[in-house]
Structure 1
Amino acid sequence: MDARGKTPRLRSLDLLRGAALAGMLVVNNQGDWAHVAMPVRHAAWHGMTPADLVFPFFLFSMGMAIPLASGATGGRVSAPRILKVLRRAALIFLLGMSLNAMSALSLDAIRIPGVLQRIAVCYLAASLIYMKFSARAVWGMCAGTLALHGAVLLFAPVPGYGAGELDPLGNICRWADMQLLAGHTYGGSIAPGMDPEGIVGTLGALGTTLLGVIAAGMAGADTRKAVRKLLITGKLLVVAGLVLSLLVPLNKQMWTPTFALVTGGIAFIVLAGFQLFANTETPRAWETPLLALGTNPLAAYVMSSVSGALSVKIALAGAGGAPVPLKAMAYNALFASWMEPFAASLAYSVCFMLLWTGVMHVLYRKRIFIRL
């Protein structure tokens, strides 16, 4: 683990990644899951909310980081580079499994998929594609991956349902997870047996990651030229995704190709904004919190996830001596006791995000960047 970063950084990437982390901390840490406001609540099935942008932005950012960290390749593949990528992907996957183990009732029922697990798989595949193929070929691989995913969703037959079913129970994503991950999927899914970070949907997530790889080549150019390219590409992707959504709906849990196109297009546009405004020699004051999160994404995610899990598992004696989890105790005392339920839940998550932004700011000021 490297604690001090020395690689030159693209500030707009760190800002985008920081925004994704800030959103993730808010979305994943609501004070009361029975009272979640719409902007920070995922779409139940088809459709999209602002909360559904968080994970795609993170994968897009990771895709951007691949060429920036690796430099030019275009077919130059070496065993040491492949081993380095394999090692990093394995460590990220194991970290994700460790986080899942913290919340599992037993190891027999541990959830296998997860956010970090999907990140690991997408990082591995996108890195190998980038190392092997030219920039133009990466476009083709991205389009091919999303086309393949769409074909699987529309034409792969599901026993008892047939092909092309995109409802919660009859889709191919759920069927594949039930066959290969039975008993090891997310327990709160709208479709029992299906995992939101499951097997088939990872094809769409890989498409999002490859869009990030493509964006890195545009963002490194002259600022005005880069902004123009990013904006045009982003708008075209959003329009393409919305038009194709008449055939395949936007859906985060299946990570449909249209979802990948629309969220990827929005990521291009937001990146263009950061590229345009983050052009001073020294970061402006508003950039610092995002940079603190964006330069330490893995540390921010893992440390906040561990603290969130522990706050639910550790309990203290409450009124009458009954054990009360630390999270519930803090939430009730500081927020729910005087705020409307939806506002209280949101306020808790925002304070949680600000707390971890402060922790990451300390590391940022000391120039400590934790990497695998």
Structure 2
Amino acid sequence: MKEPISLPQRVSSVDTYRGFVMLLMMAEVLEFGHVAKAAPESTFWSFLHHHQSHVPWVGCSLHDLIQPSFTFLVGVALPYSLASRLVKGHSTSYLWLHMLRRALILVLLGIFLRSMYRPQTNFTFEDTLTQIGLGYPFLFALGFRSPRTQWIALAVLLVGYWLVFALYPLPGPDFDWTQTGVPADWPHRLGGFAAHWDKNTNAAWAFDQWFLNLFPREKPFLYNGGGYATLSFIPTLGTMVLGLVAGQWIKNSEAAGPLLKRLLLTGGLLLTLGFLLNWSGFAPNVKRIWTPTWTLFSGGWCFLLLAGFYYVVDILQTQKWFFPVIVVGMNSIAAYVLAHTVVGFIDQSFRIHINPQYDLFMGETYRTLVNGGVILLVQWLILYWMFKKKLFIRI
């Protein structure tokens, strides 16, 4: 007689890791940049400001690892989601319909959040949720395939995306730089072969000049000020595939030690490969357009961070220490929406009902730490209330 499939056990380290990156995102309200500017002699606040900001183009800060971590964890969660639904007896057709609904909601929710406080819908597809939604159907399909097929798919994605950029022509001597929002003497421009991945003169930028103008807009789309692009969902899918592989390893693991070594080794190899590709100029490491090198480099960090949380939380059994973080990680969609919707409302409520200058009791220098801390606390209390009521937003 065939044994019934058991429901997969929830891994606390995954919720902790997810909560950690969501808190990093929500902590933008602390605005370390304001404090660093007010205290220019402080290397401490300058360091924190750097790691709460995105690097201009090539490179990486802690803040740059938020989106790949969140994306990676979508892949980690998929094997558990599939197993849970199969245990409940859902058919393959139902799973596909549910997945398509989820992908569509993520895309539309991303567009909605980017359209807030605008006179009309802002059809843009570089938001984290939108990028995940665009790639999710392909990730779902790979979830039913063998690890070998998943690795091959990852290689095809990254090599194919690299070729798209490498074959796109570089700007000529008569190129109109005003159409890109990037001056010709921008200090972060790349030279030589790496120039194929320059800001707003690359293949993804050209695609968006065509694609985004298919939608109604206040004015024609010329460029994204940050250099972000719709087509980044393709290498972002690569990050989700890496997470899928890691999730399968965790789900199928019978011993913690070998799994930990596997995660650490994979992370180290991916980091090394990403470093070499960037150093050689063959493919620069740019988060904003999610170059193949960035997929590998940030994926390496994701494996190492997951390994770290797995060791500390699950192997050392310290879940109680991380309870405040787990509360956020178990309701990540709610946390994401809160971070993009109620910040101003919370701040204004305190100014109306407490004191218009409630955030100045430590002086102007630390003003953002006070109001940002208040906003973070209120957001966490909302998530804690949802946790106690077992209200978890699932898409």
Task: Please state how far the C-alpha of 1:135 moved relative to its aligned partner.
Answer: 1.6
Aligned equivalent of 1:333, options 342, 352, 357:
357
* Structure-1 separation of matches of 2:311 and 2:355: 39
Pair 1:41 & 2:34 matched: no
Aligned equivalent of 1:204, options 235, 243, 246:
235
Aligned 1:1-372 pairs, distance under 5 A: 8-27=9-28, 29-31=29-31, 37-71=49-83, 78-107=92-121, 109-131=122-144, 133-157=145-169, 160=172, 164-182=195-213, 192-193=223-224, 197-220=228-251, 221=253, 222-246=255-279, 247=281, 248-279=283-314, 284-308=319-343, 310=345, 333-335=357-359, 338-339=362-363, 341=365, 343-345=366-368, 348-372=371-395
Larger Rg: 2
* C-alpha contact (below 8 Å) 1:207/1:260 kept by paired residues: yes
- TM-score of the two chains, using structure 1 as the length reference: 0.81
Q: Identify if the C-alpha distance between structure 1 residues 141 and 233 changes in structure 2 by more than 3 Å, giving closer, same or farther.
A: same
Task: Please state how far the C-alpha of 1:351 moved relative to its aligned partner.
Answer: 4.3
Percentage of pairs with the same residue: 25
* C-alpha contact (below 8 Å) 1:149/1:200 kept by paired residues: no
Task: Please state how far the C-alpha of 1:231 moved relative to its aligned partner.
Answer: 0.3
Task: Please state how far the C-alpha of 1:292 moved relative to its aligned partner.
Answer: 0.5
What RMSD over aligned residues (CA atoms) do the two structures have, in Å? 3.5
Q: What code does the residue aligned with 1:369 have?
A: F
* Structure-1 separation of matches of 2:272 and 2:97: 39
Task: Please state how far the C-alpha of 1:195 moved relative to its aligned partner.
Answer: 6.3
* C-alpha contact (below 8 Å) 1:59/1:208 kept by paired residues: yes
1:243-267 CA deviation, whole Å, 9 max, x = no partner?
A: 0112222111111111111111111
* C-alpha contact (below 8 Å) 1:158/1:175 kept by paired residues: no
1:278-328 CA deviation, whole Å, 9 max, x = no partner?
A: 13697533210111011111111113312136569xx79xxxxxxxxx889
Q: Identify if the C-alpha distance between structure 1 residues 360 and 282 changes in structure 2 by more than 3 Å, giving closer, same or farther.
A: farther
Shifted more, 80-89 versus 157-166: the winner is 157-166
* Structure-1 separation of matches of 2:352 and 2:256: 47
Classify the secondary structure of the residue corresponding to 1:252: coil
Task: Count matched residues.
Answer: 347
* Structure-2 separation of matches of 1:328 and 1:182: 42
* Structure-1 separation of matches of 2:211 and 2:128: 18
* Structure-2 separation of matches of 1:198 and 1:327: 38
- TM-score of the two chains, using structure 2 as the length reference: 0.77
* Structure-1 separation of matches of 2:63 and 2:216: 21
1:172-228 CA deviation, whole Å, 9 max, x = no partner?
A: 2222112211497999xxx93466552222222111111100111222312111111
Task: Please state how far the C-alpha of 1:337 moved relative to its aligned partner.
Answer: 6.4
Gaps of 5+ in 2: 1-6, 37-48, 176-191
Q: What code does the residue aligned with 2:392 have?
A: F
Gaps of 5+ in 1: 1-5, 317-325
* Runs ≥4 residues deviating over 6 A: 32-36, 183-187, 326-332
Classify the secondary structure of the residue corresponding to 1:116: helix
Shifted more, 118-127 versus 235-244: the winner is 118-127
Shifted more, 258-267 versus 178-187: the winner is 178-187
* Structure-2 separation of matches of 1:334 and 1:185: 42
* C-alpha contact (below 8 Å) 2:200/2:224 kept by paired residues: no
* Structure-2 separation of matches of 1:196 and 1:286: 39
